Amino acid sequence: MSPLLIVLIVLAVVAFVILVASIKIVRQSTAVVIERLGKFHKLLHTGIHFIIPFIDKAVGNPISLKERVADFAPQPVITKDNVTMQIDTVVYFQVTDAKLFTYGVERPIRAIENLTATTLRNLVGELELDGTLTSRDTVNSKMRMILDEATDPWGIKINRVELKNILPPKDIQQAMEKQMRAERERREAILKAEGEKRSNILVAEGEKEAMILRAEAKKAAVIAEAEGTATAIKMINEANPNAAYLTLKGYDALKVMADGNATKIIVPSEIQNVTGLLASLKAVTEEEKS
C-alpha cells in the first residue's frame, strides 16, 4: 500500500469523525447549551443541529424542560407559640430558560431546597400550632409565590408547593388526640340529647293529636245522637201520636226502670189507673228483693 493511499484513508477517517462530531441531535422536551471557546454561544432545541467540532462544546447533559417533582426531607420548624415540629414539602417546578438554569445558580435543586426551608420557617413562624394545621392552603400559596419570584432569575418556574406532612411532637399529638376524642364524645352526647328531645316531642304531639281526635269523635257522636233524638221527636210530633202509643212508650220506660235495683217507682199520672201494670211491677220488685 502506497503512502499516499494511507494518507487518504487517514484523512477520510478524520473527516468522518469530524462530520459525526459536528452532528448534534436534541431529543424532545430537552435543550442543550452550546459554548464556543468557553463562552455561551446558543441553545439547541429539539431536532438535528450542526456544530463546529473542537470549537463548539455542549455544556453538561441535556436539560429537561418537563415539569419535575422535588420531595424534600422534613425540616424542623418553630411556630409562633414555640412548638417545634417537622414539615416536609413537595415542590413542582419546570425549567423555562436553559441558559439561566445553567449559569444562574450552582446546583439549582439544592438551592431550591434551601430556599424552601427558609421560606417555610418564616411563614410558619408567624402562625400558631392550630393555625399551621388549618392553613395549609394559605401556606402553600404564599410559598409558591415567594419561590417563583426568587427562582425566576434561575430560569425556573415554581408551579406548585405542597406541605406533605406536618408532624408535631409526641406529647402534642397525644393532647390533640384527647381533644379530638372529647370533641367527638361531646358531639355524640349532643346528638343523643337532640334525638331524645325530638322523640319526646313526637310522642307528645302524637298524644295531643290522639286526644283531639277522641274529643272530636265524642263530640260527633253526641251531636249525632242529639240530632237523632231531635229527628225522632220531630217525626213523632209530626205523626200526632195517639194515647195508645204514649201508653206503650210508658210501659217501655217502666220496664227499664224495673230492671234496676230501685225500690221506689214514681208512676206518671197518665197511667195510674192501669191496675195490671202495677201488679206486674210489684211482682218484678218482689222477685228482685228475693
Cβ 143 vs Cβ 161: under 8 Å: yes
The cell for 256 is: 227499664
The residues that bridge with 57 in the sheet, in sequence order, are: 35
Closest CA to 243 of 273, 278, 280: 273
Give me the DSSP letters along 239-272: H---HHHHHHHHHHHHHHHHTSS-S--PPPGGGT
Rounded CA gap, 270 and 263, in Å? 21
pLDDT tens track, the chain, 290 positions: 677 777 778 788 887 787 777 888 889 989 999 998 889 899 898 889 888 888 888 888 899 999 999 999 888 888 888 888 888 899 999 999 999 999 988 888 899 999 999 999 999 888 888 888 888 888 899 999 999 999 999 999 999 999 888 888 777 767 777 777 888 888 888 988 888 888 888 888 888 888 998 888 888 888 888 887 778 777 776 666 655 555 656 656 556 555 655 555 555 555 554 455 555 555 545 555 54
What class is the 68-168 domain?
Answer: alpha beta
pLDDT of residue 244: 56
pLDDT of residue 232: 72
The cell for 76 is: 424542623
Number of H helices, E strands in the chain: 8, 10
